[in-house]
Structure 1
Amino acid sequence: MKKIECISVFDMLKIGVGPSSSHTLGPWRASQRWIDELKEDKLIDSIEKIEILLYGSLSLTGKGHATDIAAILGLCGHDPVTMDISHIDIEIDRVKNEGRLNFDDSRFIPFDFDKDVVFKKDFKEFHPNGITYLGYLNSGETVESTFYSIGGGFVVKEERENAKQKQEEFKSFPFQINSALELVEHCKREQKIISEIVLENELSLRDEIEIDSGLKKVWETMLESMYIGCHTEGILPGGLNVSRRAAKMNKKLLEDKFETYTTPQEWLETIRTKEVKFRQILQWVSCFAISVNEVNASLGRVVTAPTNGSSGTLPAVMMYYMVIENHAATFEDLKRFMLVAGEIGSLFKKGATISAAMGGCQAEIGVSSAMAAGALTELMGGTPEQVLMASEIAMEHHLGMTCDPIAGLVQIPCIERNAMGAIKAINAAEIAMESDATKAKVPLDKVIATMWDTAQDMTSKYKETSEGGLAIKVNMSDC
């Protein structure tokens, strides 16, 4: 039997540090991978000097995405999941001021922040997000290793063709899924809903206690990022002078109940007590999405869903279900939501891309909206066919969306796009729930294929290079 790439929900929903999964989390992971390579080759103790070469999109928007900072933090032995983010500025300031970095958190080596990170605008052939590490050994020789950040925090070497693992490296899931059609066929044959099929696959990798623990941590991180964003005012870093809005929105919506709580969970319960009409629903969902992406833009901790740039869409829709749609919702509902969302995201990764540098913003916000739409539909009682229909509807109306961040920062138009993606996801779920999905004119597999065709046709100006669209029409001086 042909083996198919096995992508776990924990691959699609990663805990990390903003502002970008491809430009921040990916390079951070690449640095960690390079250190592992050096240890395996027994060269780690021979390194005397390091240079980091950033190519293509990593170079063009790297400063705005903190790519240099992330790569350095990885070389210093920090992990994006566990590092105290309040120490990021302290660590980077020390590197700048002292002219050295604490390599692998074990010894200091010289490092010039301004010279040893080289921004090379040319693109490598394999992928737009290339990062090369040059290590100078005490023998006088050099070692070189190149990685590619392909979106969502995934990092690969060039030998992984088309961003797919070699067949012999594939694991085998009980239910192998390479398309939406295969997924729904498994559901029909096994008489299971999508989350049950996905859970069976996850159980082949880890036990249910570990799955529950991991997904609870993912949800807690999402909820905390919404809470922090809704209670933090001020200006976002980076020079665009973008004012935070989520805190003001949260305060206005809660009115007299503002800050009658002390924890994220109490905040959630407080929101449940508020009466909401259509306009308030729009405001709350927008508030939730914007709050996460304001945290992301501030190098805060968020969950890739499937990327950092689109990290607000999924939690906003999850929160909508918790505080508006179903006040009796529990962790089991959130677990099902995340399992379905992760599987839908994996279909896009296998059949197209989740990298804006490869496919524009349709690959980030579009995919996140499709993930959220499908997951919400299952929780609302939709059939597997309706779940896939909702995902298709959400993506269909994001096709062709460009990625043109002003000044290379994940702020304008990225933050608001998460709110729009969340609203579209809810709308898509409602349409699918009222439809006979067996009569859908556009299958999800065909919209995924169309998205990939669109990505290939799209000029590089609109693929996270800041060389087209809003990025050149709106200047820093305008802000």
Structure 2
Amino acid sequence: MSAYVSAFELFSIGVGPSSSHTVGPMRAGRDFAARLRETGVLENVAHVGCSLFGSLGATGIGHGTPDAVVAGLSGLDPETVDPDEVRGAWMNWREGSRLPLAGIRPVAFAKGDIEFSPRTRLPAHPNAMTLVARDSAGAVVGEETYYSVGGGFIRRDGEPLDVAVAWPLRFDTAAELLAICDDEQLTIAEAARRNEEALRSEEDVAAGLDRIWDAMAACVEAGLHADGTLPGMLRVARRAGRIRTQLEEVTAAGGRELPGEWLGAYALAVNEENAAGGRVVTAPTNGAAGILPAVAMYWWNFLADSGLGTGTAVTPHGELAGSALRGFGAAAGASSTTCDEEAVAEANRRRGIRRFLLTATALGSLFKANASISGAEGGCQAEVGSACAMAAGGLTAVMGGTNRQIENAAEIAMEHHLGLTCDPVGGLVQIPCIERNAIAAATAVTAARLALRGDGSHFVSLDAVVETMRQTGLDMSHKYKETSAGGLAVNVIEC
């Protein structure tokens, strides 16, 4: 067994507003419908229903959980679905309509067939749901319980906790990861890339990482150019577009660029898109989806062309490397002899982003394996704290940091999120979630800068912080773990 989780699982393209409450339930519904088809009982199904337990039952409506379940049962995939097909799929359900189970079998379904049981908590995980299919006589022909364990990952009851993958570089802790990198003379990003290439070609890994980044960048762009209010009773006004306009006016008037304020705007943009149910990338969750893209975009726009992370990366032992991500050549057709300067800069930035994402993947794997990335399980420290640590490590990597500086940056970022609660007002991923991403993005940059000013040695290890986060999550009251039963959720008037 190894802690490593592929970048293409940790960073999955989906829809908002929640990886655990929207993407996971949608995948569960889709998986259930597919199993009915594969086992040959789909044609016998006349009716389907779902029960949402624990946190899914408590804040499901605010997170669009029942909409996601209906979309998944209809055979829609969160990665490719038009977000408009998910929004209101249950909320606007017309009574008397029939649900196209697996996309092909019309069955009876009513809004009341999704039941909410917030006070029933199944022992395996607080995000649980049971799907049941019946024939025309009311007999059960299919039943499965799923757990949405965070980051869009799901586990079917009875399945093993993890499916073993024969990763060439196997590690369970940060200490083991650093030791492997020392022995193999690799950066953390290179170690992650070697694991990815056990499943895909070098070209496919690069193309897949580029696709993830393009989706992240598109989400930032969409959020920066949107206005109006977000869905839900709170009527929260979008701010990212207004901030973009203000910053552009400052620049146009001859004022200096304000990288730190752009960083916050990027994070707000992503999480406003997420709250609106738009296309986002789990990083490692939807509730924390703005942190990594914001920090990466900050590097892309303000630091990349300075040479940091493009051609002057430092290897674990101090010597200069030929590129920020050895083994990943420039983008197709982009070279200093055949392309103009902008094309070369674009290719260098993409190499840097791949390094950023691979470094973040290795770090995120440690949080998922040894603690949690689920707000319902560990509070917001598990979501925002993990994302902040991943972003800090990724930024340190593209700024030329050593492996131990990367580990130090991740530790600093996570240490100062310990105990962070998950208490969304009204059960919506809006307050305090959107601003929290902007604050964490700034913390990630600060952590990276602090680590880069040191030599990588530090008193508290990343492994110690991960274990502390796990213990803190266990000790934390369920009121502060995505149930909206405590904290801001009960002390802020919702209208």
Report the TM-score, using the length of structure 2 for normalisation: 0.88
2:314 equivalent in structure 1? none
**Letter matched to residue 243 of structure 1:** A
1:448 equivalent in structure 2? 466
- Distance in 2 (alpha carbons) for counterparts of 1:352 and 1:194: 20
1:96 CA displacement: 2.5
Go from structure 1 to structure 2 and tell me whether the alpha carbon gap of 1:94 and 1:76 turns closer, same or farther (over 3 Å shift). Answer: farther
Deviations along 1:45-82, one digit per CA (max 9) or x if unpaired, are 11100111000000000000000000100111111111
Go from structure 1 to structure 2 and tell me whether the alpha carbon gap of 1:58 and 1:89 turns closer, same or farther (over 3 Å shift). Answer: closer
1:100 CA displacement: 2.1
Go from structure 1 to structure 2 and tell me whether the alpha carbon gap of 1:92 and 1:127 turns closer, same or farther (over 3 Å shift). Answer: closer
Instruction: Name the Cα RMSD after superposition.
Output: 1.6
Deviations along 1:419-478, one digit per CA (max 9) or x if unpaired, are 01100000000000011223x10010010000000000000000000000000001212x
> What is the aligned counterpart of 2:349 among 330, 352, 357?
330
What are the residue-to-residue correspondences of 1:258-407 with 2, within 5 Å?
Answer: 275-276=256-257, 280-327=258-305, 328=345, 329-407=348-426
What are the residue-to-residue correspondences of 1:137-216 with 2, within 5 Å?
Answer: 137-138=135-136, 140-142=138-140, 143-160=142-159, 164-165=161-162, 169-216=163-210
- Distance in 2 (alpha carbons) for counterparts of 1:214 and 1:331: 12
Q: Which runs of 5+ in 2 are unaligned?
A: 306-344
- Distance in 1 (alpha carbons) for counterparts of 2:31 and 2:241: 38
1:124 equivalent in structure 2? 122
**Letter matched to residue 353 of structure 1:** S
**Letter matched to residue 204 of structure 2:** E
1:385 CA displacement: 0.5
The 8 Å contact of residues 66 and 90 in structure 2, kept in 1 or not, is answered as: no
The 8 Å contact of residues 357 and 465 in structure 1, kept in 2 or not, is answered as: yes
Go from structure 1 to structure 2 and tell me whether the alpha carbon gap of 1:458 and 1:92 turns closer, same or farther (over 3 Å shift). Answer: closer
- Distance in 1 (alpha carbons) for counterparts of 2:361 and 2:256: 32
Deviations along 1:96-117, one digit per CA (max 9) or x if unpaired, are 354321211113212111x111
SS in 2 for 1:126: coil
SS in 2 for 1:50: strand
Higher helix share: 1
> Does 1:236 find its partner at 2:233?
no
What are the residue-to-residue correspondences of 1:462-473 with 2, within 5 Å?
Answer: 462-473=480-491
The 8 Å contact of residues 130 and 149 in structure 1, kept in 2 or not, is answered as: yes
Q: Which runs of 5+ in 1 are unaligned?
A: 259-272
The 8 Å contact of residues 34 and 102 in structure 2, kept in 1 or not, is answered as: no
The 8 Å contact of residues 4 and 362 in structure 2, kept in 1 or not, is answered as: no
Deviations along 1:247-284, one digit per CA (max 9) or x if unpaired, are 000011112878xxxxxxxxxxxxxx9842xxx22211
Percent identical pairs in the alignment equals: 43
Report the TM-score, using the length of structure 1 for normalisation: 0.91
SS in 2 for 1:310: coil
The 8 Å contact of residues 254 and 274 in structure 1, kept in 2 or not, is answered as: no
**Letter matched to residue 230 of structure 2:** L
Deviations along 1:115-163, one digit per CA (max 9) or x if unpaired, are 11100121111100001001112454203210000000000023356xx
**Letter matched to residue 117 of structure 1:** I
- Distance in 2 (alpha carbons) for counterparts of 1:91 and 1:467: 26
- Distance in 2 (alpha carbons) for counterparts of 1:442 and 1:160: 36
The 8 Å contact of residues 6 and 171 in structure 1, kept in 2 or not, is answered as: no
Go from structure 1 to structure 2 and tell me whether the alpha carbon gap of 1:160 and 1:431 turns closer, same or farther (over 3 Å shift). Answer: farther
- Distance in 2 (alpha carbons) for counterparts of 1:304 and 1:371: 13
Deviations along 1:18-40, one digit per CA (max 9) or x if unpaired, are 00000000000001111222123
**Letter matched to residue 388 of structure 1:** E
- Distance in 2 (alpha carbons) for counterparts of 1:382 and 1:256: 33
> Does 1:413 find its partner at 2:432?
yes
SS in 2 for 1:69: helix
- Distance in 2 (alpha carbons) for counterparts of 1:17 and 1:215: 18
> What is the aligned counterpart of 2:478 among 448, 460, 469?
460
SS in 1 for 2:280: strand
**Letter matched to residue 449 of structure 2:** E
- Distance in 1 (alpha carbons) for counterparts of 2:228 and 2:59: 24
1:172 CA displacement: 1.1
Aligned length: 451
1:269 equivalent in structure 2? none
SS in 1 for 2:449: helix
The 8 Å contact of residues 98 and 108 in structure 2, kept in 1 or not, is answered as: yes
**Letter matched to residue 456 of structure 2:** A
Go from structure 1 to structure 2 and tell me whether the alpha carbon gap of 1:172 and 1:89 turns closer, same or farther (over 3 Å shift). Answer: closer
Deviations along 1:376-422, one digit per CA (max 9) or x if unpaired, are 10111111010000000000000000000001000000000100110
1:40 equivalent in structure 2? 38
Go from structure 1 to structure 2 and tell me whether the alpha carbon gap of 1:466 and 1:105 turns closer, same or farther (over 3 Å shift). Answer: same
SS in 2 for 1:222: helix
1:266 equivalent in structure 2? none
- Distance in 1 (alpha carbons) for counterparts of 2:86 and 2:283: 23
